[in-house]
């Protein structure tokens, strides 16, 4: 009998700026292939090496297919199968008891970017707000960059349209491995170069993007603000700034230029570990360009001075008036353009005055045994045992017998091992959702392409059924998909003009109704006064966590070639392609000093803990820097520990974000 074959539209739900439109090959009820949609102007027919393996993940034999109830000790990962009615009744009964004894402020949801879909990623917040639970501040990734951008340009993160980058002539990729973590930018960069653009990559880790660029500067970690201020001062001294634009569209410029004067090029080059002549040449190249553009990444913000650094860098296009030119400007994110009524589907109006907010970076402290007031933890779209800082303390908190933990997952992750109830969730191919992007300006919708495997159920389904048992009356919890889409599109913002629920659900991808040409800051900022703010002046901050004789190396953790985060961390072909186990890159000189040259596996130690990893010696790592590429499942590491056993809960200068690129370590023989 011939199995019917269908090619169905979908959207990649992984945490990536590209938000790719996909074409899914389905044979019967099995996913057998995946490709980028050829007709999408950004996806352009190709999928990245991670998403290309999603059919393998979708059909893996170890997918969770039934609700599971814990039978062993927490952390052992021993469960028994039950049906959904038993699971829902058991969870509701335990939660009612916790609410009666400890109140709703003893309940914490923990979730992030396991799916970027709004319906499955954000709408479950309505359950917790109707309950009166703690509010989670989602600070682990993007808040520092967001706070920095918004300090310069106002309350919406909007940048240069990537589809116009073919017009850029001086392109700086600063602190981002675009070919791995924003790969659909590459065709636009390639076309810009064909038309005469030159590309500079600034990053302490020499990677694929460094080799793609025309030039690479291997900057010292945490010195980016000094370099940007020095460039700003030199642009002014050499007459490259647009004084007419600044007079009309900016404030605090003179104060800013005074601060820049403290960073002559020679001083900055010395602090940053760069060649002063190269920096001097770059000033004239960038300042004299017809359309200069800077793409920045979030990774560079994850240290003590990350917010100030991003502020200093992203003011440079304003200084030279680049926002007035097509292809010029900068981009961190495009997400602010999607003016959806998210508050309507997340029940934002139900947040009670005085509700305590929890910074997700500080989960270890929030779950501290013996002192934590949190009695119930619901985890979905995240794997905190692997990704939260200070992992050993996180695991100790998760192991508390007085902490009731419910985990919604696709696989039995490290966090799942600590669950009291482990529930099978649908993948993005098994449920409907709406997707924005932080790398382009197309709003997208996807229907399910296959039925859920086994007894998997969507996040929305679970929280609606639990709400029924608890008697919650929040209407948004019980809306069907078309009605939720209608609610999202109800903001009335002109950039959503013409995008009806029917059109979005029919066409799947619709470009926002942006002005043409789209020059987001050509007339100034989104502050009430319309001024781009150069003041307070960004600073080059000295780290409190400094290298020392005990910990002489700085550890950073950029995306790997195939392993980026834990979402795809158990796919067999990805594990094989990544070498079978996690590794770090160490400069040969650092390896020699530590006595680990040619050692294979090494021990990496910080003030918080130690781990064992395979070491690869290469000058791709700057001397003095250990590069840990990608975040693996701890249980798949040689010592069953997380990279985040090394990190701590220190926060960034802006946005109260994580400092994953901050920790100092030493290496020694394993």
Q: Which fold has domain 553-669?
A: Barwin-like endoglucanases (2.40.40)
Residue 92 is predicted with a pLDDT of 98
Which residue has better confidence, 414 or 563?
414
Q: Are 294 and 327 in contact (CB under 8 A)?
A: no
Q: CATH 3.40.228.10: which residues of the chain?
A: 144-332+526-533
Residue 562 is predicted with a pLDDT of 84
Q: How far apart are CA 579 and CA 565, in angstroms?
A: 16
The answer to whether residue 225 scores a pLDDT higher than 90 is yes
pLDDT digits (tens, 9 = 90+) for 616-629: 999 999 999 999 99
Q: How many CA atoms lie within 13 A of 590 on its CB side?
A: 28
Beta strands 329-331 and 292-296 are parallel
Q: How many Å is the Cα radius of gyration of the chain?
A: 25
Q: Are 641 and 391 in contact (CB under 8 A)?
A: yes
Q: Are 273 and 224 in contact (CB under 8 A)?
A: no
Residue 566 is predicted with a pLDDT of 85
Beta strands 68-70 and 79-81 are antiparallel
Q: Are 110 and 397 in contact (CB under 8 A)?
A: no
Q: How far apart are CA 112 and CA 89, in angstroms?
A: 26
Q: CATH 2.40.40.20: which residues of the chain?
A: 553-669
Q: Are 109 and 382 in contact (CB under 8 A)?
A: no
DSSP-derived secondary structure for 142-189: SHHHHHHHHHHH-SS-----GGGGGG-SEEEEES--HHHHSGGGHHHH
Structure confidence at residue 599 as a pLDDT band (50, 70, 90):
confident
The answer to whether residue 142 scores a pLDDT higher than 90 is yes
pLDDT digits (tens, 9 = 90+) for 199-215: 999 999 999 999 999 99
DSSP-derived secondary structure for 447-465: --SSPPSTT-B-HHHHHHH
Q: How far is CA 556 from CA 11, 201, 388, 500, in A?
A: 30, 17, 15, 44
Q: Are 281 and 289 in contact (CB under 8 A)?
A: no
Q: How far apart are CA 38 and CA 641, in angstroms?
A: 41
Q: Read off φ and ψ for residue 139, nearest 5 degrees.
A: -105, 0
pLDDT digits (tens, 9 = 90+) for 425-460: 999 999 999 999 999 999 999 999 999 999 999 999
Q: Are 470 and 92 in contact (CB under 8 A)?
A: yes
CATH number of 5-58: 3.30.200.210
Q: How far apart are CA 586 and CA 555, in angstroms?
A: 10
Q: How far apart are CA 340 and CA 524, in angstroms?
A: 23
- Mean pLDDT score of the chain, rounded to an integer? 97
Q: CATH 3.30.200.210: which residues of the chain?
A: 5-58
Q: Read off φ and ψ for residue 417, nearest 5 degrees.
A: -60, -20
First to last CA, the chain: 56
The residue with tokens 């023989």 is 669
Q: How far apart are CA 495 and CA 513, in angstroms?
A: 4
The answer to whether residue 1 scores a pLDDT higher than 80 is no
Residue 641 is predicted with a pLDDT of 97
pLDDT digits (tens, 9 = 90+) for 291-308: 999 999 999 999 999 999
pLDDT digits (tens, 9 = 90+) for 17-71: 999 999 999 999 999 999 999 999 999 999 999 999 999 999 999 999 999 999 9
Structure confidence at residue 560 as a pLDDT band (50, 70, 90):
confident
Q: How many CA atoms lie within 13 A of 591 on its CB side?
A: 22
The answer to whether residue 2 scores a pLDDT higher than 90 is no
Name the 3-class secondary structure at 668.
Answer: strand
Q: Are 470 and 95 in contact (CB under 8 A)?
A: yes
- Of 456, 398, 384, give the one whose Cα is nearest residue 76: 398
Q: Are 381 and 111 in contact (CB under 8 A)?
A: yes
Q: Read off φ and ψ for residue 236, nearest 5 degrees.
A: -70, -45
Residue 456 is predicted with a pLDDT of 98
Alpha helices in 411-507 (DSSP H): 459-470, 481-488, 501-507
Q: What is the mean pLDDT of residues 477-505?
A: 98
Q: What is the mean pLDDT of residues 649-658?
A: 98
CATH number of 68-140+339-428+453-479: 3.40.50.740
Residue 564 is predicted with a pLDDT of 81
Beta strands 421-424 and 433-435 are unpaired
DSSP state of 134: P
Q: How many CA atoms lie within 13 A of 600 on its CB side?
A: 3
DSSP-derived secondary structure for 89-109: HHHHHHHHHHHHHH-GGGEEE
H or E stretch at 488: helix 481-488
DSSP state of 486: H
DSSP state of 645: G
pLDDT digits (tens, 9 = 90+) for 373-400: 999 999 999 999 999 999 999 999 999 9
Q: How far apart are CA 327 and CA 596, in angstroms?
A: 47
Kindly report the number of other CB atoms within 10 A of residue 624's CB atom: 16
Strand partners, 615: 584
Q: Are 508 and 305 in contact (CB under 8 A)?
A: no
CATH number of 144-332+526-533: 3.40.228.10
Q: Are 307 and 655 in contact (CB under 8 A)?
A: yes
Quick one: what percent of the chain has pLDDT higher than 70? 100
Residue 64 is predicted with a pLDDT of 98
Residue 536 is predicted with a pLDDT of 98
């Amino acid at each position: 009998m011939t199995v019917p074959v269908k090619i169905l539209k979908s959207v990649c739900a992984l945490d990536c700026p590209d938000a790719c439109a996909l074409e899914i090959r389905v044979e019967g009820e099995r996913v057998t292939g995946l490709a980028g949609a050829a007709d999408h102007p950004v996806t352009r027919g190709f999928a990245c090496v991670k998403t290309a393996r999603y059919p393998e993940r979708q059909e893996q034999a170890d997918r969770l297919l039934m609700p599971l109830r814990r039978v062993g000790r927490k952390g052992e990962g021993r469960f028994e199968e039950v049906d959904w009615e038993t699971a829902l009744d058991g969870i509701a009964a335990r939660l009612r008891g916790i609410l009666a004894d400890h109140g709703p402020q003893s309940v914490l949801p923990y979730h992030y970017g396991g799916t970027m879909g709004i319906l499955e990623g954000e709408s479950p917040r309505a359950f917790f707000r109707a309950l009166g639970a703690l509010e989670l501040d989602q600070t682990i990734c993007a808040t520092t960059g967001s706070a920095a951008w918004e300090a310069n340009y106002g309350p919406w993160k909007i940048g240069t349209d990537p589809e116009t980058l073919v017009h850029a002539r001086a392109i700086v990729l600063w602190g981002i491995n675009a070919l791995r973590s924003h790969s659909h930018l590459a065709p636009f960069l390639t076309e810009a170069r064909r038309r005469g653009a030159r590309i500079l990559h600034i990053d302490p880790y020499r990677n694929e993007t460094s080799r793609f660029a025309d030039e690479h500067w291997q900057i010292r970690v945490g010195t980016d603000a000094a370099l940007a201020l020095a460039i700003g001062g030199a642009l002014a001294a050499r007459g490259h700034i647009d004084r007419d634009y600044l007079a009309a569209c900016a404030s605090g410029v003179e104060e800013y230029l005074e601060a820049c004067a403290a960073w002559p090029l020679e001083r900055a080059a010395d602090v940053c570990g760069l060649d002063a002549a190269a920096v001097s040449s770059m000033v004239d190249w960038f300042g004299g360009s017809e359309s200069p553009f800077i793409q920045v990444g979030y990774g560079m913000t994850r240290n003590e001075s990350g917010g100030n650094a991003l502020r200093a860098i992203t003011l440079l296009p304003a200084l030279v008036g680049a926002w007035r030119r097509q292809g010029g400007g900068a981009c961190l994110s495009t997400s602010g353009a999607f003016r959806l009524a998210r508050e309507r589907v997340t029940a934002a109006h139900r947040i009670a005055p005085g509700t305590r907010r929890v910074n997700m970076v500080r989960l270890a402290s929030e779950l501290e045994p013996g002192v934590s007031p949190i009695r119930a933890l619901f985890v979905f779209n995240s794997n905190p045992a692997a990704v939260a800082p200070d992992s050993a303390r996180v695991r100790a908190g998760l192991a508390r017998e007085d902490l009731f933990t419910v985990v919604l997952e696709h696989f039995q992750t490290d966090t799942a091992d600590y669950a009291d109830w482990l529930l099978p969730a649908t993948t993005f191919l098994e449920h409907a959702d709406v997707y924005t992007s932080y790398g382009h300006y197309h709003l997208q919708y996807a229907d399910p392409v296959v039925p859920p495997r086994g007894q998997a159920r969507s996040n929305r389904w679970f929280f609606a059924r639990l709400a029924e048992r608890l008697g919650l009356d929040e209407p948004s919890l019980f809306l069907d998909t078309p009605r939720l889409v209608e609610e999202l599109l109800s903001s009335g913002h002109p950039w959503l003009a013409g995008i009806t629920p029917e059109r979005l659900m029919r066409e799947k991808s619709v470009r926002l109704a942006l002005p043409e040409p789209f020059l987001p800051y050509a007339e100034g900022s989104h502050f009430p006064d319309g001024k781009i703010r150069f003041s307070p002046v960004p600073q080059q901050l000295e780290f409190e966590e400094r290298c020392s004789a005990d910990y002489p190396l700085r550890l950073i953790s950029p995306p790997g070639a195939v392993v980026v985060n834990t979402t795809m961390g158990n796919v067999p072909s990805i594990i094989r392609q990544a070498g079978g186990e996690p590794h770090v890159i160490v400069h040969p000189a650092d390896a020699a000093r530590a006595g680990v040259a040619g050692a294979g596996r090494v021990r990496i130690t910080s003030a918080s803990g130690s781990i064992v990893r395979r070491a690869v010696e290469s000058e791709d790592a700057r001397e003095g820097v250990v590069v840990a590429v990608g975040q693996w499942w701890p249980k798949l590491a040689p010592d069953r520990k997380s990279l985040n056993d090394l990190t701590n809960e220190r926060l960034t200068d802006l946005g109260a974000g994580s400092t994953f690129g901050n920790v100092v370590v030493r290496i020694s023989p394993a």
